[in-house]
Amino acid sequence: MNLQKLRLGQLKAAGTTVGDVYFPQTELLLPFDGSNGATATSDLSDNNHSVTFAGNAQISTAQSKFGGSSCYFDGTGDYLTMPSSSAFAFGTGNFTIEFWVRRTSTGSYPYLLDFRSGGTDAVVATLYLLHTDNYKPQYYVNGVLRIGSSVGLSVDTWYHIAIVRSSGTTTMYVDGSSAGSFSDSFTYIAAPLRVGDYSSGGHGFPGYVDDFRITNDIARYTSSFTPPTTAHSTSAGDVNKQILINETADGVAIGTGGINQARIAKVWVNFNGTGTIAIRDSYNVSSVSDNGTGDYTVNFSTAMSDTNYCKVGHCFYWGTAGGDFGERTAATGSLRFISIHTVTGSETDMPTNDVIVFGN
């Protein structure tokens, strides 16, 4: 039998890159897909929250933004409820609440969402439409108006609304454009969620809601954007699973999301730290600074989202002994470390320094 050597170039990975890279942080996902008149729906996030329909709230095929159906509220005693959950406790971190809405008629201060229990809980979010001023969205936190949109919502028109906190600033977006923001240092607590009415009732929203999604710890939008043109993905898909090896096996690509892809190495560098610093090769590194003997700062081309990333380092001193890697200061845009001679115990310039950073 004649065996032939298999060339790496003949190995290929087939398929498409689909899915939501932030699906693991998706805490609630309600596409409202179903048959006309249905009074049940599924949370397609990994949390599988229980959703209870009240009044005449129901799935309707009369209108939808995506998927052929949405949730309809007639404006009188109709709403959805979900029990209090740690998934809704955003703390002081980033978050994104977004959905599509279509108003059908008038109403007295119609509420789109309310995270309170009986209207008394502190540091929770509320979003309603100001009916005395062309139904402009109003965002309250801790019972006080924080964002008053200047954009009115006309009847029989779909609008995308997003509430996003990014690095301590919360912004309301209507159809991808900022409708106002404020400095938000509140610690959001866990609370029940009601969609379509005030937590104590009496302010029902008349219309349709579609593709409701909450993402914790992620600011999906940080500036003006184009609203989604398809339904939200219901899985992480294979966006983090592609591993492609080139023909000579000297290059590997993981995923297709570039530097913003989640859970891959975001920074790496190999450099000579003796004399004038010389970078041999690197990724997402703009420079390496010499702060003194055995003291270096690796400067990132693209900053990390926070300082809670994982650092791995290796220092090597030719001939006599190795070196230890010691973190000094982690910043979003840089990492400062020291190289320590394992024999003398002192900070020493090392000929070989390798640093890798993992995180989001």
* Of 299 and 320, more confident: 299
Q: Are 60 and 68 in contact (CB under 8 A)?
A: no
When pLDDT is averaged across residues 317-339 and rounded to a whole number, the result is 84
pTM for the whole structure: 0.65
Return the structure tokens found at 251.
């290059």
User: Binning pLDDT at 50, 70 and 90, where does residue 236 land?
Assistant: confident
Domain boundaries, the chain: 23-216, 244-359
Given a contact cutoff of 8 angstroms between Cβ atoms, the answer to whether 72 and 206 are in contact is no
| DSSP3 helix / strand / coil % (the chain, rounded to 5) | 5, 45, 50
d(Cα 317, Cα 7) in Å, to the nearest integer? 38
How does pLDDT run across 102-123, given as a tens digit for each residue?
A: 999 887 788 899 987 665 565 6
Give residue-wise pLDDT tens across range 72-89: 999 999 999 999 998 888
Residue 305 pLDDT: 81
Tokens representing 26? Answer: 């998706």
Look at residue 66 and give its three-state secondary structure: coil
Right CATH for 23-216 from 3.40.30.10, 2.60.120.200, 1.20.1740.10, 3.30.70.20? 2.60.120.200
Q: How confident is the model at residue 259 (pLDDT cuts 50, 70, 90)?
A: very low
Say which DSSP state 357 is in. E
C-alpha–C-alpha distance, residues 25 and 20, integer Å: 10
CB-facing half-sphere around the CA of 71: CA atoms within 13 A: 30
Is the pLDDT confidence value at 128 over 70?
yes
Largest CA distance in the chain: 85
| pLDDT (0 to 100) of residue 263 | 46
- Residue 101, exposed/middle/buried by CB under 10 A (0-12, 13-18, 19+)? buried
135: left (phi over 0), alpha (psi -120 to 50) or beta: left
Q: What's the confidence (pLDDT) of residue 345?
A: 85
Over residues 152-164, mean pLDDT: 94
User: How do residues 10-56 score in pLDDT, each as one tens digit?
Assistant: 545 444 456 788 888 999 999 999 999 999 999 999 999 999 999 99
Q: Is the per-residue pLDDT at 264 higher than 90?
A: no
